[in-house]
Structure 1
Amino acid sequence: MARRSTVHDPRIADGPGLSATLDPADYEAPPPRRPRRGGWSGGGGRWLVWTGRIILWALILVILVNGVRAPFERFTQQEPVMSNGAVPAHNGFPAEQGMAFAAQFAGVYLNFNPDDAASRSRKLTAFLAEGMDPQMGWDGFGSYAAVAIQPYDIEATDAHNAVVSVAFQSGPRRLMLSVPIYYSGDEAGRRFVVAGRPAILPAPAPAELPQVAEPEIDEAATAELKPQLEGFFQDYASGDAAGLERYVAAGKSLPSFAGAFTFSQLKEVVVPVGGATREIQAVVVWAVPSGDVLPTPGTTDPAAVGGTLEQVYRLTVEKQGDKWFVADVRGGGRVIG
């Protein structure tokens, strides 16, 4: 409904003047509110909303914590990584120096007899921590000898502690010595010490060696090469440079034994089928000198001949024209046949 104006219009006679008050009837009353159908208009329903929010945030928090913790745990459980991304070997323990220290110790520890007990004890002092048994468990009786002592392996538990395996030979047996050692670190002088009693263990048995199939042999080339190789090995042993040049391929230079051995026999030559350049195998028997006495071929005097030593060589040979020449000499590989 439109509101009536209270402004006096002079065109209307006897109209009312400007009213100073408002007539409540000039306005309509607001429509009444409709009551809500169903539901509860009270504020108590909000606890469901807040409970849902709390559960949601708790779930998000658990996911975030697990997502951050898992890679962190994997990282901390791994070995430390160097700046270039590589993992330091042996947990930061100086393996080469530690193995050398253990091998030196083994050389003293593994050799003893009653006549040398005092000397052995003094030598062991250089490896042992203060207060350790100077004989390291030996009662002073009996004797033992070891040769061919070599560091074999190392197992480092951290940057300061490791167990070194040392290989050695005693009589016909090949054995291992396990030596626990401690490393002081860079700040304490980079020193080593034997950290406990060693232990002698059996060495691994030799590996099974599978047979290699025999190559197809070139009989004609074998017949051509055999006299050439006999002359070559004779000059190769004696060190006759001029004679050696007759058998060496053009542009090649080979050292010689210079009289350290004397050629005795070319026992076998294996020449596979191939082209003008081939890799062959030769079994050579050397006469080994006895002391300062040079061996004499053909003699039966043991003092002059000494002994013989059979060895296997791989040679690279090249055919130039109708003759074969030696281009290279190396140690033999796998046994053929």
Structure 2
Amino acid sequence: MNPWESAAEALKAEQQRATAAPSAPASTPPPARETGAPWSTIDEKSGTAALRRLGRGVLWAVVGLAVITGVRAWIVPNQTTTDNNTAAPAKAAPAYPSDAAQAVAGRFARAYLTWDADAPETRASALAAVLPDGADTEMGWDGQGQQDVLAVQPGAVTPTTQNQARVRVDVLIRTTEEEATPAKGKKKATEAKTADRWIGLDVPVVKSAGQVVVTGQPGMVGVPEHGPKAPELKTPETDTTFGQQTADTVDDFFRAYAGGDTETVTAPGATVPPLPDGMTLVGVTSWTADAGTGDDRTGTARVTWRIGQAQVEQTYRIELTRVASADAQRWQVANIHGGTA
């Protein structure tokens, strides 16, 4: 016989007998009877419930973390290895103050290459202004001769070591030389003769306390006789028809340009500063318009000017724009700059 069914039958019979019997006085509770049931209900302790709730919270926290970081990152972690032999990238050194180096080297070159035997203190004073305190202001000059500096052009700055650099400076000098000439008498006369030439100068400088100073004597170097070969540049295609249509526009502009008044021949809003005095227009040698479409076009003009007793041809790039009014339209100059670049 099934023990579960027997227990259920016994429980049912006991309930029926309890219903049929008279109720006992309220003050005397009936004695507890064994029901014969094979189980009993046990209250759960509060500590057990708290542990179960804590476990559920940890489980949900793990699920949320997996969603955020990705389960794959747990199963196959990112394998990042560090090679001890690989050095950390070095921090980029601050750029050398090339502008300051060029300025100091240019001033030094002018003072260094200017001398006059009749006024040696002038050169010493100019050098003292660009040399460290207490430096030798003679800088190897023997105190003889006369030489002037006509132009100074600072060039490349080549950093070396220990915050030092070498600055290339091209200098145009004028040297005065005495030349003996035959005379009618027994004595020969001397005549002063000047010669202009470009020379190169390598000036050593050093950066110290946020400034650049010359560290010592420079060295004269040669100047190239000519520049490197220029690359082959692509020539823009031309529009002959448009060039012929706008030739008078370009010619009128240069006549007004030479006269110092371009307001009537330039597009609205365009500003073209006047030419310096002493330039006279000889004529527009050629005008070539670039191929293109639209209201803005570009071309190249070759123009001959007279300066003093000489004539010189120059090249300009001209930008034209179409200006329309209620009853007409015309092309006017919007911008101009020299050269072909």
Q: TM-score range by the shorter chain?
A: 0.5 to 0.7
- Structure 2 match to 1:248: 266
- Structure 2 match to 1:89: 95
Structure with the higher fraction of residues in strand conformation: 2
Contact 1:316 1:327 in 2 (8 A): yes
From 203, 207, 216, give the equivalent of 2:223: 203
Q: CA distance change for structure 1 residues 69 and 309 in 2, over 3 Å: closer, same or farther?
A: same
- Structure 1 match to 2:297: 278
- Say whether residues 1:234 and 2:255 are aligned partners: yes
Unaligned runs of 5+ in 1: 1-65, 82-86, 291-305
Task: Provide the rounded CA distance (Å) in 2 between the counterparts of 1:95 and 1:223.
Answer: 49
Unaligned runs of 5+ in 2: 1-81, 174-194
- Structure 2 match to 1:98: 101
Q: Which amino acid aligns with 1:253?
A: A
TM-fit CA distance, 1:220: 3.0
TM-fit CA distance, 1:206: 0.7
Map Cα deviations across residues 169-193 of structure 1 (whole Å, 9 max, x no partner). 346654321111233315xxx4x43
- Structure 2 match to 1:175: 199
TM-fit CA distance, 1:129: 4.0
TM-fit CA distance, 1:287: 3.3
Q: Which amino acid aligns with 2:200?
A: M
| Mean CA deviation greater in 153-162 or 273-282 | 153-162
TM-fit CA distance, 1:322: 6.8
TM-fit CA distance, 1:120: 0.8
Contact 1:240 1:258 in 2 (8 A): no
Q: CA distance change for structure 1 residues 216 and 151 in 2, over 3 Å: closer, same or farther?
A: closer
TM-fit CA distance, 1:212: 4.1
Map Cα deviations across residues 178-234 of structure 1 (whole Å, 9 max, x no partner). 111233315xxx4x4321210011235412124545554433333322222111111
- Secondary structure at the aligned position of 1:89 is classed as coil
Equivalent runs, 1:25-36 vs 2, <5 Å: none
Q: CA distance change for structure 1 residues 193 and 258 in 2, over 3 Å: closer, same or farther?
A: closer
TM-fit CA distance, 1:252: 3.5
| Mean CA deviation greater in 147-156 or 226-235 | 147-156
Contact 2:272 2:336 in 1 (8 A): no
Task: Provide the rounded CA distance (Å) in 2 between the counterparts of 1:161 and 1:273.
Answer: 52
Q: TM-score, normalised by structure 2?
A: 0.58
- Structure 1 match to 2:314: 311
Task: Provide the rounded CA distance (Å) in 2 between the counterparts of 1:111 and 1:282.
Answer: 42
Task: Provide the rounded CA distance (Å) in 2 between the counterparts of 1:252 and 1:239.
Answer: 17
- Structure 2 match to 1:162: 165
- Secondary structure at the aligned position of 1:127 is classed as coil
TM-fit CA distance, 1:313: 0.8
- Secondary structure at the aligned position of 2:246 is classed as helix
Task: Provide the rounded CA distance (Å) in 2 between the counterparts of 1:236 and 1:222.
Answer: 20
Matched pairs, number: 232
CA root-mean-square deviation: 3.0
- Structure 1 match to 2:39: none
Q: CA distance change for structure 1 residues 164 and 237 in 2, over 3 Å: closer, same or farther?
A: same
TM-fit CA distance, 1:235: 1.2
TM-fit CA distance, 1:131: 5.6
Contact 2:272 2:335 in 1 (8 A): no
- Structure 2 match to 1:330: 337
Q: Name the % identity.
A: 28
Task: Provide the rounded CA distance (Å) in 2 between the counterparts of 1:97 and 1:160.
Answer: 13
- Structure 1 match to 2:47: none
Task: Provide the rounded CA distance (Å) in 1 between the counterparts of 2:275 and 2:103.
Answer: 34
Task: Provide the rounded CA distance (Å) in 2 between the counterparts of 1:273 and 1:162.
Answer: 48
TM-fit CA distance, 1:262: 3.4
Equivalent runs, 1:139-150 vs 2, <5 Å: 139-150=142-153
Task: Provide the rounded CA distance (Å) in 2 between the counterparts of 1:318 and 1:131.
Answer: 62
TM-fit CA distance, 1:71: 0.9
Q: CA distance change for structure 1 residues 319 and 113 in 2, over 3 Å: closer, same or farther?
A: same
- Secondary structure at the aligned position of 2:87 is classed as helix
Contact 2:261 2:274 in 1 (8 A): no
- Secondary structure at the aligned position of 2:230 is classed as coil
- Secondary structure at the aligned position of 1:97 is classed as helix
- Say whether residues 1:68 and 2:84 are aligned partners: yes
Q: CA distance change for structure 1 residues 256 and 118 in 2, over 3 Å: closer, same or farther?
A: closer
